Structure 1
Amino acid sequence: MEKRWIDLKSLSNKQKQREHPYLTEEHHQFRKTFRKFLEKEALPYYEQWEEDRIIPRSFWSKMGEQGYLCPDIEERFGGSETDWAYSVIINEELERVGTGLIGVALHNDIVVPYITSFGTEEQKNRWLPSCTTGKTITAIAMTEPGTGSDLANIKTTARLKGDHYVVNGTKTFITNGIHADLVVVAVKTDTEIRPQHKGVSLLVIERDNPGFSRGRKLDKVGLHSQDTAELFFEDCIVPKENLLGEEGKGFLYLMDKLQQERLLVAIGAQIASEDMLHSTIDYVKSREAFGQRVSQFQNTQFKIAEMATEVEMGRAFLDQLIADHMAGENVVTKVSMAKWKLTEIARNIATQCMQLHGGYGFMEEYKIARRYRDIPVASIYAGTNDIMKTIIAKNLGL
């Protein structure tokens, strides 16, 4: 059985500071503490979660008990008011265990920020405290069976009738779809207005809202432990108080928050690349063929050198991007670049590393096999890589 975890102690303080210039010693201590938590509460069980095709809610509760859910929100709602670097650490360490834990990142850094940014005081008081404990698990529902990246063309409708909305439509590929107690849903509150995006609004739909149901847990190529589902709304009754922000501004809200979502995808891809590279270096040093270690073949050395260079360059670009994002700078173009390039690099590295593992790379007991399955979808969700290139080109004045 291969080594599943890179020893943090093997990284010198100088290396850690170089790789993460926006972090302080307090952040590094937090990483050590969180890693110990995962070594106890996640690593021993992750393979079983993959087989079960779901992560138990008990893990969410343990995350909440230790303050690892929504750490950046205000203390009055149960958070710790930390800077976003703590969230970066949480997401990096979860990714080292496995991409199937991406639902936690979605909850902490994608869905809950919609509520903190656009919710009313009443909504924040009603929903946020239970989000920090793990009692409430969140999801966001944008994608529909016939609509992916074209969010302005969604078909799910919400008609206001008296004191409630009546929602009809279907959403698919919803991360946390089975567990979700609270779903931020993109709907059309005006189907006649032009341009179409001005008719998009966001509704928060709760587990017990009449007419809300979820379909099967989708059987995916990878991310086996992460629950993904179809959601159905059939004359679903949603109180008008559950409107998030203003009617007709949902598309703008989505565009605002998609940048952090895409940055999270880039972070995950970078960590996956680093993890695959380190484990493959260990492997080729330990295996022999034709009387010498696999690492001594020039072909192996060149492949490793190429991957190591891409990883180093990716880390430098990503670290500066994270720092810019934390400083509140406009990072739309660079986030699109990072999301595209780092997921593409990760996919290529997965292929090369599996090849260097030989037949063992195709065995489930080796982590590279799971990485090989999990990584390709990163170039699809949060906006396809083709969309990223379109955004880059547009912002370059093309």
Structure 2
Amino acid sequence: MPALVLLGAQWGDEGKGKATDLLGGSVDYVVRYQGGNNAGHTVVVGDQKYALHLLPSGILSPGCTPVIGNGVVVDPSVLFSELNGLNDRGVDTSKLLISGNAHIITPYNVTVDKVTERFLGKRKIGTTGRGIGPTYADKINRVGIRIQDLYDESILTQKVEAALDGKNQLLTKVFNRRAIEVGQVVEELLGYADRLRPYVADTVLVLNQALEQDKVVLFEGGQGTLLDIDHGTYPFVTSSNPTAGGACTGAGVGPTKISRVIGILKAYTTRVGSGPFPTELFDEDGDALRRIGGERGVTTGRDRRCGWFDAVIARYATRVNGLTDFFLTKLDVLTGWEQIPVCVAYEIDGRRVEDLPYSQTDFHHAKPVYEYLPGWSEDITKAKSFSDLPKNAQDYVKALEEMSGAPISAIGVGPGRDETIEINSFL
């Protein structure tokens, strides 16, 4: 049962698209299992760069079937915009499958997201304002709209009415906004039905049958481990489960069918949005990492906060995901530093702590304890094997592997599809 989960082992933006694309030619299905268009992957193919927000990265691999699972929330307008953009560039998108049980991001979900975040002011979470959180809230409150609802106008109307009963009270009486009309929302959603129809499928059945037939299925998480709603730096998290367990619920595949769990680690650390970040840099080194690494959010367009590698977080990701392998990305960005700090533990109220603090308060007060590793100045972007790397770069990788608790099986040495050193095959 060759089912693999590939996920971010930090706060997202680790380069999952590059890793998924590396495997895309060898797998039969690539499945997004959570999140929405608040995630983003940049994939470089030759001299072409593709920015994907909602679509699985496997859509760029001709022999692969891309799947949007039931755990994803879908904004149809964003979906069609991405599909149109790829079609215009000659990419075949006809094999895409979308779960009929995936929830739809409605116009009122986007409105609620934006006005709530503005209302919070300094206490804001730092959402992308794309309606993801409110859509997941509707799902849990059992007033959500699923894709299959578009094919029964009566059910759709009833569900929109139920959702707007409370939301219009909130919008008009708390936020002083105009009420949203039920008919207008229903009409807009029904307008997507015909174009969506060819893609809609019972993806749980499709994926389980594929595994029974020994097909290779790759489950692709959005965001990262530290943004998980249960296991991340709450409340500065996303509204779903990017961790490995989320692949089971978000795609309808049992945990006994997962054979490998691959965590994507950046050779340093970045974060977008609010929340604690122990190794964050506010100096020239932080600016250099941001500039050299091109650290700007694919989806948000916001500059990413940058810091040194945090081994405490990496160990935590290994534990909560049951990671079997790491894919280390952007090692080339660190070229040129004489020495490279690595956070090996935290200092909290005078105590040395080597595991992620359970308490939100402790994590907010955590200060990094650094070890300093020698850097390198040689260009590593042409390296094809681990032995091609300078000794100090090899030692850096080995140190991160030992600190993180799982083998590093691949290394990204540049943004291109072919700029990857594969140490151990993932398949």
Instruction: Report the TM-score, using the length of structure 1 for normalisation.
Output: 0.25
Larger relative contact order (Cα-Cα within 8 Å, sequence gap ≥ 6): 2
More helix by share: 1
Structure ranking higher in strand proportion: 2
